[in-house]
Structure 1
């Protein structure tokens, strides 16, 4: 994305003074830098287009560096580019011109309007009044998507080399109306591990237990089991674990105004406690028997 002010990068890594724990925290959907050029392309106003954000999730996890782990966060908005997708998961109906032959045009996410370059924001609101040049999608992928994932891979590889295993926590939020299918339960958190494919069951159990001990209602994998990032980077047998953590937005923002609730700092403190407890869980693990060999 062209930076109109010349001051805000597309993403950044907030590093600890020394990485002391085998964790990488990632907030790919909390970006809120909406350049005027992008807003001019859209049919939505500056407030409505924010419906797809994981509002302030980067701030909820801001203490990660202070407990010894890097935090990668996006500044570009999810409505502009979604790095929790394949690199070319694109809807041909959105673009003038032919997509690359390797593009995935038939995924369920593309059909739902939520590809790498999204067609809609929440509540099925179209972002654009018409088609975009195909080069627009390619440029976003080349200029932002690929560097973002290259950065994330470096953080994961460095952590794995240093500790013998790595735990990626992919940090997200969900609407306050989210319910467990067939139930009236509205969870506070959902821990996604791709139904055991992306992380050790011991690690998933520890995350759920830590959150429940803090007083939250927690469910596993339903309705969010994890997106591309969790699926792509989670390789438990190689000591690479990825969990997607969804927090209910209604706990910390007003979902109409999108403003922080007065007790936002309380949620921030509780998530800091959650991160510390996860770090404590990994301190005395045998990598070979407890995580990597499952």
Structure 2
């Protein structure tokens, strides 16, 4: 690692002293502040703390302390991306150089905000080699959430509020940070949590709604139903009405005429 760093920082120099550059390391969400990496004890400390993570990841930072000879000074872009060239070659290309503003040009109201930005940068550095962002929020479970410059700027500005709705470990309740809410409950502020609880209580106290459909003539007297007139039933007699009366005769003559036996008379 030292040979690779020396070739990039001081190309062409034969003798390189150990005091012209320093090597530090940090572990996101475990050791946010850079610690020196100069001896075997520091290396053992790095390995011991890295193994505590579910996904062991560490970020090594190599920084030049004194400038070499003028003809051997590497470009500014190489100095800024020295860690990427040593640890992750061929990644994070196409970055444009940015010149830091003069300290005297910064407004007094932005000094505290800039301090918060530096604090957030050191706290949420991403040590994942295949991550496209240098700063990420790393939840206990779930994917990384890339923190852009706009995210860090809004977060640092919200930390200046007197209500303390955002801290170094608790981001503000803004729409830009809604994607993190599914990973941990810390994303909800105290005000938002109390409002959600009040809404749940109001929903629980409501009486059930029962819909009843009534007919159009409900409550009116029933209409009078007309019944058909009764039909006259014809009484059928024993003797059909088509027959006429015959001659009057006594029983003996009746038996003789109709040829009935004499036993009827007994």
More strand by share: 1
Range class of TM-score, shorter chain:
under 0.3
TM-score normalised to the size of structure 2? 0.23
Which structure has the bigger radius of gyration?
2
Taking CA–CA contacts closer than 8 Å with sequence separation of 6 or more, which of the two structures ends up with the larger relative contact order? Answer: 1
